[in-house]
C-alpha cells in the first residue's frame, strides 16, 4: 500500500540536545516532523528549535522513560544515555534506534572490541585490563593506545602508551589496551541500515585530527584513496552494520594502515561529525537518512555532488560568550556553508560550528580549508 504522510505525525523523542540534534531538527522540520528533545542544559543547541524541549538527565532511567513514554520513536544524539530505559521503551513497542543491545556494546569500548573480534571484523589486537595500570602485563602490545572502557568522548579517556613507564600516569579504571596501528589515513564511512536490511553507504571521508584537542580538525570527501580501497571501506562498514543486525545509522571510524589494511577503530550508532558535509554535498544527508530510518521511509540518495570538505570551528582561548571572527572571509568562498550551533558559551576545544565547502577540484578545496583555518575563529568576547 502506498505510504502517506499523516497530519498527526509520529513523535520522535531525542535524547541529547547538542549540535547533532540541532542539525537533525533543521532537516526534519522540512517534513513537519515533531521532535521532542531531552537535555540537562536549558540553553542546549536544540532548546530553541525543538517542537518540545525538556530539561532533564538522559542518564537517568526514570527521566528517560517518562520523557519518551508518549513518543512513537526514540533516538539518541549522544551515546551516554540510560540503556535500561531504552529497553523498557522498546518493550512498550516503541521503535528505538539504535537498538538498546547495540548501544550497550558500543558504550563499552571493551565489549565493542570483543564484538569485532567475535564477528571477524578487522581491528587492532587488544587486551582488556581491570585498571590501566596493569598495562605492564601486556608489553607485547606496546606501543599502544590505552582507552577507558566507558565514558570517553572526543579523544578524552584515550592516551598513547609508548613504554611501561607510562603505566604510572595510566587511567585507574577498566581499560582497553590496543596495539597502535601504523596509520596512513583515518577514514570514516557512514552506513544507514533500514529495518528490511537495505543499506546505503556514503563515500569514505578522510579525517585530519587536531592534536591539541584530539578531535577532527577537518575532513575531505571523498577520501583521496584508490577506488578499490574506497569500495573496500564501504564494504567493511556494511559488514559492521550487518553484524550489529539492527536498523540504524552507523558511523564507522577506520584506520587505513601503511600496509594498506583497513582496521575498524570504533563505531558510533548515530549521526557523526564525519558526516556533516553530507548536508550540502549529498541529496540525502546523514540527518535525512536518520529521519527516514525513524519513520520507516525509503533510504535516500547518498551520492556526492562534488568534492567536499568540512572544517570544524572549535573554541580557542578561554571561555565566555562566543565571538565568531572571519565570517566574511568564509562567506566569500564559493560553495561555502557556515553552520553555527547556537552554543551560549565557548571553551577551548568545544565544537561551536563548522564550515562545509563544495568545490570542483582539490585546489579549490585546499584553498577553502586554508582560508577557513586562518581566518575563522571562535573566541570568547573580551
Identity of the residue, 92 or 153, whose beta carbon is nearer to ligand ATP in the bound complex: 153
From 81, 80, 215, 78, select the one nearest 156 (Cα to Cα): 215
Q: How far apart are CA 343 and CA 321, in angstroms?
A: 9
79 binds, among ligand ATP, Mg ion, none (CB under 5 to 8 A by kind): none
Helix, strand, or coil (residue 35): strand
Only one residue has cell 601486556, namely 138
Please say whether the beta carbons of 222 and 230 come within 8 A.
yes
Q: Which of 82, 201, 265, 267 binds ligand ATP (CB under 6 A)?
A: 265
Please tell me whether residue 215 binds ligand ATP under the rule CB under 6 A.
yes
Q: How many CB atoms lie within 10 A of CB 150?
A: 16
Identity of the residue, 254 or 365, whose beta carbon is nearer to ligand ATP in the bound complex: 254
For the chain, the straight-line distance linking the first and the last C-alpha, in angstroms and rounded, comes to 60
Please tell me whether residue 181 binds ligand ATP under the rule CB under 6 A.
yes
Please say whether the beta carbons of 182 and 136 come within 8 A.
no
Identity of the residue, 203 or 253, whose beta carbon is nearer to Mg ion in the bound complex: 253
**Cβ-count burial of 242 within 10 angstroms (0-12 exposed, 13-18 middle, 19+ buried)?**
middle
Please say whether the beta carbons of 314 and 58 come within 8 A.
no
Identity of the residue, 67 or 202, whose beta carbon is nearer to ligand ATP in the bound complex: 202
Stretch that binds ligand ATP, among 15-23, 149-157, 349-357, 361-369 (CB under 6 A): 149-157
Q: Which of 34, 147, 339, 377 binds ligand ATP (CB under 6 A)?
A: 147
Identity of the residue, 209 or 297, whose beta carbon is nearer to ligand ATP in the bound complex: 209
Stretch that binds ligand ATP, among 113-121, 151-159, 276-284, 341-349 (CB under 6 A): 151-159
Please tell me whether residue 158 binds ligand ATP under the rule CB under 6 A.
yes
Identity of the residue, 36 or 147, whose beta carbon is nearer to ligand ATP in the bound complex: 147
Q: How far apart are CA 250 and CA 98, in angstroms?
A: 9
22 binds, among ligand ATP, Mg ion, none (CB under 5 to 8 A by kind): none
Identity of the residue, 265 or 284, whose beta carbon is nearer to ligand ATP in the bound complex: 265
- Minimum Å distance from CB 11 to ligand ATP? 29
Alpha carbon dihedral 300, 219, 25, 333, in 10-degree steps, equals -100
Please tell me whether residue 251 binds ligand ATP under the rule CB under 6 A.
no
Q: How far apart are CA 178 and CA 315, in angstroms?
A: 30
The binding track of 110-139 with respect to ligand ATP, each residue x by CB under 6 A or -, is --------------x---------------
Please say whether the beta carbons of 349 and 315 come within 8 A.
yes
- Minimum Å distance from CB 217 to ligand ATP? 11
Give phi and psi for 292, each to the nearest 5: -60, -40
Identity of the residue, 178 or 364, whose beta carbon is nearer to ligand ATP in the bound complex: 178
Q: How far apart are CA 134 and CA 124, in angstroms?
A: 19
C-alpha cell at position 155: 579523544
Q: Which of 145, 202, 213, 337 binds ligand ATP (CB under 6 A)?
A: 145
Residue ranges that bind Mg ion, judged by CB under 5 A: 253
DSSP state for residue 144 in the 8-state scheme: E
Total number of residues binding ligand ATP (CB under 6 A)? 19
Contacts to ligand ATP by CB under 6 A = 124, 145, 147, 152-155, 157-158, 178, 180-181, 183, 186, 209, 215, 253, 265-266
Amino acid at each position: 500500500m502506498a505510504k502517506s504522510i499523516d497530519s498527526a505525525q509520529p513523535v520522535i523523542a531525542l535524547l541529547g540536545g547538542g549540535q547533532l540534534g540541532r542539525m537533525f531538527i533543521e532537516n526534519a522540520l522540512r517534513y513537519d516532523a515533531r521532535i521532542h528533545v531531552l537535555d540537562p542544559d536549558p540553553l542546549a543547541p536544540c532548546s530553541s528549535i525543538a517542537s518540545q524541549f525538556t530539561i532533564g538527565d538522559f542518564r537517568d532511567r526514570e527521566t528517560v522513560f517518562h520523557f519518551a513514554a508518549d513518543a512513537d520513536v526514540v533516538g539518541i544524539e549522544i551515546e551516554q544515555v540510560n540503556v535500561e530505559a531504552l529497553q523498557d521503551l522498546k518493550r512498550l513497542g516503541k521503535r528505538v534506534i539504535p537498538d538498546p543491545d547495540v548501544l550497550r556494546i558500543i558504550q563499552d569500548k571493551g565489549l565493542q572490541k570483543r564484538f569485532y573480534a567475535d564477528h571477524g571484523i578487522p581491528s587492532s589486537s587488544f587486551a582488556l585490563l581491570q585498571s590501566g595500570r596493569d598495562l605492564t602485563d601486556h608489553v607485547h602490545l606496546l606501543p599502544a593506545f590505552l582507552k577507558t572502557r566507558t565514558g570517553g568522548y572526543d579523544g578524552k579517556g584515550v592516551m598513547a602508551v609508548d613504554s611501561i613507564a607510562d603505566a604510572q600516569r595510566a587511567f585507574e579504571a577498566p581499560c582497553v589496551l590496543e596495539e597502535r596501528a601504523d596509520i596512513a589515513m583515518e577514514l570514516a564511512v557512514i552506513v544507514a541500515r533500514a529495518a528490511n536490511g537495505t543499506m546505503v553507504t556514503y563515500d569514505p571521508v578522510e579525517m585530519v585530527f587536531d592534536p591539541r584537542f584530539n578531535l577532527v580538525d577537518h575532513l575531505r570527501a571523498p577520501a583521496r584513496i584508490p577506488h578499490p580501497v574506497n569500495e573496500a571501506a564501504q564494504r567493511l562498514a556494511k559488514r559492521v552494520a550487518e553484524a550489529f543486525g539492527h536498523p540504524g545509522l552507523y558511523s564507522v571510524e577506520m584506520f587505513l594502515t601503511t600496509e594498506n589494511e583497513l582496521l575498524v577503530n570504533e563505531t558510533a550508532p548515530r549521526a557523526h561529525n564525519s558526516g556533516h558535509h553530507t548536508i550540502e554535498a549529498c541529496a540525502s544527508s546523514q540527518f535525512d537518512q536518520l529521519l527516514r530510518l525513524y519513520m520507516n521511509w525509503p533510504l535516500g540518495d547518498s551520492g556526492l555532488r562534488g568534492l567536499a570538505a568540512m572544517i570544524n570551528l572549535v573554541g580557542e582561548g578561554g571561555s565566555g560568550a562566543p565571538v565568531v571572527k572571519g565570517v566574511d572571509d568564509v562567506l566569500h568562498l564559493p560553495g561555502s556553508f557556515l553552520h553555527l550551533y547556537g552554543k551560549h558559551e565557548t571553551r577551548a576545544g568545544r565544537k561551536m560550528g563548522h564550515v562545509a565547502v563544495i568545490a570542483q577540484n582539490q585546489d579549490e578545496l585546499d584553498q577553502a580549508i586554508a582560508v577557513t583555518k586562518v581566518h575563522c575563529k571562535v573566541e570568547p568576547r573580551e
